[in-house]
């Protein structure tokens, strides 16, 4: 049986009198691609914020790679191997596409107090890091814009830049909130093919919120469905499509 990389046990989060996430339990195996779907306002992004550390749960437990993390900060979770690409891209607009993507690389000598003032100590590593990032930018069709300021990119290109930076982090679990939103259909399809390729070749794990079900269902192993803060169904895509609770809550059946 595959090793569990992420598990939630009875996780709940309220805002005032509204329970945005209610007693959610789930398990994600190492090397899987899992989808999270549901109507707008069902609690999907709040759940991702709880997993990533942007928010802390009112009750319940979250475990990542065997460690309880529900009170850890986002940067502590990142160090453990979790990375989150937000629905609305968060990028550094005063930096180039290449510089933005390189930020995720760990153990950079240019970031250390003792070596940062001495260019000769980190220059070679910086060149190697850039060479490492360029193929990734090619995968998301941004390699020709590597020297552009990110503020000059379109909204869809900013999404791709954020995804490239996320993948460059060398994390083990990637939380992707609507990676296909704002992308042309052909580019979105290529992007999801690359996600599948990364899982198959490197054993990475992806937990994905996505409204474009045709894209998502082509690559996922399993789908969780949320409605009104609760998990109302789970299973393979073909099972989810036929579930009467999903039809009623999400597909308008």
For the chain, domains (ranges, CATH) are 1-81+171-253 (3.40.50.300), 91-170 (no CATH)
The overall average pLDDT reported for the chain is: 88
Least confident of 15-24, 70-79, 83-92, 113-122: 113-122
Q: Give residues with Cβ within 8 angstroms of 196, minimum separation 6.
A: 33, 219
What is each CA distance from 14 to 48, 72, 78, 122, 231, in whole angstroms?
Answer: 14, 19, 25, 46, 16
Taking only the tens place, the pLDDT of each residue in 99-150 is 888 887 766 656 667 676 667 766 777 788 778 888 888 888 889 998 999 8
């Amino acid at each position: 049986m595959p090793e569990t990389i992420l598990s939630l046990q009875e996780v709940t989060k309220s805002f005032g009198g509204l329970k945005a996430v209610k007693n959610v339990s789930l398990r994600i195996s190492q090397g899987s691609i899992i989808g999270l779907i549901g109507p707008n306002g069902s609690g999907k992004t709040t759940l991702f914020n709880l997993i990533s550390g942007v928010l802390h749960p009112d009750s319940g437990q979250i475990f990542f790679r065997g460690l309880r993390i529900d009170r850890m900060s986002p940067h502590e979770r990142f160090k453990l191997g979790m990375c989150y690409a937000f629905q609305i891209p968060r990028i550094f607009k005063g930096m180039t596409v290449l510089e933005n993507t390189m930020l995720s690389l760990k153990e950079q000598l240019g970031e250390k107090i003792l070596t940062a003032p001495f260019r000769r100590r980190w220059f070679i590593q910086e060149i190697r890091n850039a060479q490492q990032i360029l193929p990734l930018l090619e995968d998301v069709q941004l390699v020709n814009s590597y020297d552009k300021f990110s503020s000059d990119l379109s909204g869809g290109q900013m999404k791709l830049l954020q995804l490239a930076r996320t993948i460059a982090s060398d994390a083990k679990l990637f939380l992707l909130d609507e990676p296909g939103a704002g992308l042309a259909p052909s580019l979105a399809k290529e992007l999801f093919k690359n996600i599948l390729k990364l899982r198959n070749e490197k054993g990475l794990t992806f937990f994905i919120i996505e409204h474009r079900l045709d894209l998502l269902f082509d690559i996922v192993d399993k789908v969780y469905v949320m409605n009104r803060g609760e998990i109302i169904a789970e299973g393979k895509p073909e099972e989810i499509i036929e579930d009467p609770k999903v039809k009623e809550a999400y597909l308008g059946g």
